[in-house]
Copies of this chain bind each other. A is one copy, B any other.
């Protein structure tokens, strides 16, 4: 079995793909499902999200997302896991669009057989699900920030890689070696996230509670899992709790 870490999304994925966007898309996705949401619909653009809820019409959708860390006009929620964790989403479907994470999921879904969303908050469960589904390769894909590698995602990829290596034998690539080195020498999760460029950016925006929340290790056992069915609206990816 191969274990591969892409420090940025690229290329084709033959088997299992685990998308990591710790600050904050995948952390928030876990929180929505943890708080009862039926499903998440990830869109590649805000326009696709807004089109799912035409003005004045009643639809079953809530919209959550951000650009540059800030809420998107017309959306119900930002991309805050703390905000999500404080609400009840039972029976709701949340449409998500974010700067990096949702695009990475679309890249992965293009070729991957099994696609999961992982954060630090569900790292152990995500590693177990990935291991159970994989037949040849697990690719952990870091979303990064605006095409730049994000320390927080590489650290989380290292946490996932460490869990996976404890579960069985893998041949690892250079990306996995780098992620493991960062994980083992990058301090505790809060130190790692706090020292990342995007963590500092969020703190400047007054969102340090989100950084703290995202640093919670394996606090959830929910793994957002790509679910391909006919009822999924065009240009969206449906993730349900796995």
Interface residue ranges, A against B (CB under 8 Å): 6-8, 10-11, 147-151, 154, 173-175, 177-178, 181-182, 184-186, 195-198
A148 & B173 in contact (Cβ 8 Å cutoff): yes
A7-B7, A181-B185, A184-B185 given as contacts; is B147 within 8 A of A174 (CB)? no
B181 & A197 in contact (Cβ 8 Å cutoff): no
B175 & A186 in contact (Cβ 8 Å cutoff): no
Number of copies: 2
7 contacts between A and B (CB under 8 A): A10-B147, A148-B175, A151-B178, A177-B196, A181-B181, A181-B182, A182-B182
Measured CA separation A112–B185 after assembly (Å): 33
Measured CA separation A79–B181 after assembly (Å): 30
B177 & A195 in contact (Cβ 8 Å cutoff): yes
**Minimum Cβ distance to chain B for residue A155 (Å):** 9
Question: Whose C-beta in chain B lies nearest to the C-beta of A153?
Answer: B174
Measured CA separation A148–B177 after assembly (Å): 13
Contact of A148 among B147, B148, B174, B198 (CB under 8 A): B174
Contacts of A178 in B (CB 8 A): 149, 151, 154, 178, 182
**Minimum Cβ distance to chain B for residue A14 (Å):** 15
